[in-house]
Amino acid sequence: MIFSEFSFEKLFLDKFSESSKRNGLEITPELERYISSLFLEDLLKNKIPEPNLILSQLATGKCQDSEVFSEIKNTADYLTIHLGYFPESLASKKYYSLDHYFELGRKSYYNLSRMNSRQIVFEEMFQNYDSVIFSVNETADLLSSYTSREILITHQCWEKTRHQIFKKKLMRMGLIITSIDG
């Protein structure tokens, strides 16, 4: 069966709604449109390029020029997609902890909300960043099945980082909580 973009969007939004409720995230229409856009337009169509700005500029909040708005947004969206769908790709980086990327994404949306106060969705992303990421990650899990290799990689990332995103993912994969707490 071939899914149309509309039916796939509806499936994604249904699963995202379920995940959001479990993660205590209240979804506004703006947030729903934004996350849906990231998923359908950017992730599925490979439209998110890697960020060009130096990450430390964003983390320190020194990006005030309106000309860098699109670069900050690109970085924020890139981190949201990678933390939500592919956290293993960032956990394997040698230079920064996974928490650093969470903080960088959160601060990027904070900067965006200050640069464009009319776009309330940036403030929502800043205020609820962890819940959004956990909900997107759970949604991705609900829409896929796992190979043994993916389970092993996720477990290795849990062992390396002890980050909640991997603990929750392992639990959704069916691993008993005592086996990942020990």
pLDDT tens-place string over residues 125-180: 999 999 999 999 999 888 787 778 888 888 888 888 989 998 888 888 877 555 44
N- to C-terminal Cα separation, the chain: 43
Confidence of residue 44 (pLDDT cuts 50, 70, 90): low
Amino acid identity, residue 88?
A: E
| CA–CA dist 42, 20 (Å, integer) | 21
Contact between 132 and 80 (Cβ < 8 Å): yes
Q: What is the mean pLDDT of residues 34-46?
A: 74
- Average pLDDT value for residue range 117-128: 92
* Distance set, CA 158 to CA 18, 44, 169 (Å): 24, 27, 9
- The residue that leads in pLDDT, 148 or 66, is 148
DSSP class of residue 174? Answer: T
Around Cβ 172, how many Cβ atoms within 10 Å?
16
pLDDT band at 66 (very low <50, low <70, confident <90, very high): low
Residue recorded with tokens 């849906």: 36
The more confident residue out of 60 and 42 is: 42
Share of the chain above pLDDT 70, in %: 77
Mean pLDDT of 89-101: 83
Question: pLDDT band for position 46 (50/70/90)?
Answer: low
- Residue 68 per-residue DSSP state: G
